Amino acid sequence: MTETKDTLLKNLLVEIGQMNIQALRKYYKELYGVETKQKCKELLRRRIAYRLQERRYGGLSQADAEFLDSLADQDPLANLNLVTIPYQQGMKIIPGTKFVREWHGVTYEAIFRGRRQYEYRGRIYSSLTAISTLITGTHWSGTTFFGVRSDD
């Protein structure tokens, strides 16, 4: 019986390697119960393969899951609590979110670290506006500069 399940799993892994993006998204929804907007076929294949193998062989042991949870509790970037940013009523972002903008041929990147904490080039600023003003040399709304939009 084990050999049959292993053969089935191997066949499924080969099959997902041949799926197009639409088929992968559909299969992902079947396995995870939620839709994905992922556009990278390879990442979808890996997530699907993981879930198939997890179903076949089991997931993490309780001890491993608790160990990883304890590590995550000590890492502020692992805390995925949404934070409302003050200048966009109702807009929520996750610590670790990157804001990227190409301007005058240079790519600029800021990372949201927590409430009123944005990292740019190793320094912490209180807003995206402070960063965009530094980059442009003139007052410029940070949300406009980095193209932040609300989904409201």
Q: Read off the pLDDT of residues 3-13 as tens digits, 9 standing for 90 and up.
A: 677 888 899 88
Joined together, the tokens standing for residue 126 give 């209180």
Q: Read off the pLDDT of residues 136-149 as tens digits, 9 standing for 90 and up.
A: 998 888 888 888 76
Joined together, the tokens standing for residue 72 give 């995550």
Q: Read off the pLDDT of residues 47-63 as tens digits, 9 standing for 90 and up.
A: 999 998 888 888 888 89
Q: Read off the pLDDT of residues 69-102 as tens digits, 9 standing for 90 and up.
A: 888 777 766 665 555 455 455 567 777 888 898 8
Report the candidate in 109, 114, 75 with the shortest Cα–Cα distance to residue 94: 114
* pTM to 2 decimal places: 0.45
Joined together, the tokens standing for residue 150 give 């609300």
Q: Read off the pLDDT of residues 17-35 as tens digits, 9 standing for 90 and up.
A: 999 999 999 999 998 888 8
Q: 48 burial class (0-12, 13-18, 19+ CB within 10 angstroms)? A: buried
The rounded mean pLDDT for the chain is: 83
> How do the domains of the chain map onto residue ranges?
2-59, 83-145
Region of 150 (left: φ > 0; alpha: ψ -120 to 50; beta: rest) is: beta
